[in-house]
Amino acid sequence: MLTDYHIHVERGPYTVAWLREFAQQAEAIGIGDWGISEHAYRFLETRPIFYNEWVRPRQTERVDEYFTMIRQAREEGLGVKFGIEMDYFPGKEKEIAEFLSRYPFDYVIGSVHWINQWGVDLSEMKQEWDKRDVVESWRAYFDRIVALAESKLFDIAGHLDLAKIFKYIPENQEFLLEQYERVAKTLAQCGTCIEISTAGLRKPVEEMYPHPLLLEACWQQGVPIVFSSDAHCPEDVGADFDQALRLAQKVGYQEIQVFSQRKAQAYSLG
């Protein structure tokens, strides 16, 4: 059983014809369970949660149109799951909970892309890394990952160490291991799953999320996993999953989680 829950169709229209191209790739690779998780910031309904000059021209869609595509696809026989990737913002827990309660999501991916008004993974804001202390930036990033888990609003934590995307990585290994340990413990205590994401292989860091040592810390704490590609085009669905599977098994994982109606069920990786 393989999953790909982190797929975005936003580069095309919300139509079954466009979605079917992603479905065909998932079937060709042999992915047993897959779903779409559009970026929540794209929807006008999330304006109370997050809105700035970067989001403003991108916040143009309606959730109902997105869900209509999913419903129509299911009526036509596609076994697609209905998910969303929701950015976590400290202090916006109530607004996030209210938004999520309105729709029948199968799973919710919680991600940290922003530290206040700084988009840590945005190429147009990359220069901010040169203006800031790398250690403190990573601490602030992981502070938000911990708070994300503690909110218990999310089923899956997305691309757990996204902060490494441009290779601004603390040299202090002791610091990193301490952060990995506290993140893993919190995820375990709060029952939050993580994704092994192959997207990092297509980014400047050229490395999967999370780092093997962070994944090992999660395994030792009993944090469950799913596989994700973070595909934004059909050909990236399930990309490099052979590497993800090898990494998971090397660390010690023997099960993967499958989500439906925000409930998880474990399946064997063997």
pTM for the predicted model, two decimal places: 0.97
Q: Which of 205, 207, 201, 211 is nearest to 239 (CA)?
A: 201
Provide the pLDDT for residue 46: 98
Q: Which CATH number fits domain 3-268: 3.20.20.140, 3.40.50.880, 3.30.420.40, 3.40.640.10?
A: 3.20.20.140
Provide the pLDDT for residue 39: 98
Q: pLDDT class for 33, splitting at 50, 70, 90? A: very high
CA distances from 150 to 141, 144, 145, 177, 182 (A): 14, 10, 9, 20, 12
Where do runs of H (alpha helix) occur along the chain?
Answer: 16-29, 63-75, 93-100, 128-131, 134-151, 173-190, 212-221, 241-251
Q: What is the distance between the alpha carbons of residues 84 and 128, in angstroms, rounded to a whole number?
A: 28
Provide the pLDDT for residue 170: 98
Q: What is the distance between the alpha carbons of residues 209 and 164, in angstroms, rounded to a whole number?
A: 9
In the chain, the percentage of residues whose pLDDT exceeds 70 is 100
Q: pLDDT class for 168, splitting at 50, 70, 90? A: very high
Mean pLDDT of 132-151: 98
Mean pLDDT of 153-175: 98
Residue 270 has pLDDT above 90, yes or no: no
Contact 178, 214 (CB under 8 A): no
Strand order in the sheet with 33-39: 3-4, 33-39, 80-87, 107-111, 156-157, 193-197, 225-228
Contact 85, 113 (CB under 8 A): no
Tokens of 138: 């990573």
In DSSP notation, 13-53 reads -S-HHHHHHHHHHHHHHT-SEEEEEEEGGGBGGGTTT---T
Q: Which of 251, 250, 248 is nearest to 2 (CA)?
A: 248
Boundaries of every domain in the chain:
3-268
Q: Which pLDDT tens digit goes with each residue over 208-263? A: 999 999 999 999 999 999 999 999 999 999 999 999 999 999 999 999 999 999 99
Mean pLDDT of 151-156: 98
Tokens of 192: 């939050």
Q: What is the distance between the alpha carbons of residues 197 and 207, in angstroms, rounded to a whole number?
A: 9
Tokens of 204: 């400047």
